[in-house]
Structures are given as structure tokens and as C-alpha cells.
Structure 1
Amino acid sequence: MKGLIETIVTPLVDYPDDIVVTETEEDSKIVYHLTVNENDVGKVIGKNGRIAKAIRTVVYASRTETDKRIYLDIM
């Protein structure tokens, strides 16, 4: 899943080396934290959050075998 997030975000940003995806797993959910360069945050979120919503839609659609919910935080 980390690779999928990085693949989606890399063409959107000016500083692809600053992309960091971390994973936190809890009992009922998996949270992915996406961190990008502060100059690229607006590009990843997009106007009115449209790009962030599209990224989340793709990530949520590619669930794992487990029944855990998946969340994506963009920082």
C-alpha cells in the first residue's frame, strides 16, 4: 500500500525525495500518514481537497485481505 501511495503522489510534487509514508496498525484500522515537503502540500491536497479525495478513493478501494478499515492522513 505504501508503494501505491508513493506512486500516486510522486508525479504531483516538486520534491519527490521528501515523500514519507508511515503505517500505524491498530485493532480495527490501518492508518497511513503521508508527509510531503511543505511547498507540495497544496499540490497534494488540491483545490477544495479534490486531489486528496481522489487519492483516498483509490487507496480505500485497494483494501487488504483483512477486514480492517484504511485511513490516509496527509500532512
Structure 2
Amino acid sequence: MKELVEVIAKSLVDCPEDVVVTETEKDNSIVVELRVAQEDMGKVIGKQGRIAKAIRSVVKAAASKDDKKVIVDIVQ
């Protein structure tokens, strides 16, 4: 999941070298934290959170075959 979020985020932002993705596993869920440069935050979130919602949907679909819950957090 980490690689998937990283590829999507790097394709959206102006500073792909500032994209940092960390993955932690808790119980039966995976928490993926996405950090981007301050000026790229709007590009990752999108208007009314549409891009962030789309990223979460794609990751959730990819994780459905593993029967794990995936939480994508966009952190400053």
C-alpha cells in the first residue's frame, strides 16, 4: 500500500522529492501517513477533498483482496 500511495502522490505534486509515506500496522488495519510539502498540500487534498477521497478509494480497493482495513492520513 505504501508504494501505491507514494506513486499517486508523486504524480500529483510539484516537489515529488518531498513526498514521504510511512506505513504502520495495528490490529487488522494498516495506517498509511502521507506527508507532502506545504505548497503541495492543496494538490493532494483537492477541492472539497475530492482527490484525497479518490486516493483513499483506490487504496481501499487494492487492499480489499487482503481483507485489511487501510486508513490514509494526509499529515503536514
Structure with the higher fraction of residues in helix conformation: 2
Deviation string 1:33-70 (CA, Å, 9 cap, x unpaired) is 00000110011000000000001000000016543211
Corresponding residue number in structure 2 for 1:18: 18
Deviation of 1:7 after TM superposition, in Å, equals: 1.1
Query: What does residue 27 of structure 1 align with?
Result: 27
After TM superposition, the score normalised by the length of structure 1 is 0.91
TM-score normalised according to structure 2 size: 0.90
Letter in 1 for 2:70: I
Unmatched runs of 5 consecutive residues or more in structure 1: none
Percent identical among aligned pairs is 57
Distance 1:16 1:70 in 2: 23
Residue correspondences, number: 75
**Equivalent-residue separation in structure 1 for 2:14 and 2:20 (angstroms):** 14
**Map of 1:57 onto structure 2:** 57
**3-state SS of paired residue (2:39):** coil
1:2 corresponds to which residue? 2
How many Å apart are 1:9 and its aligned residue?
1.1
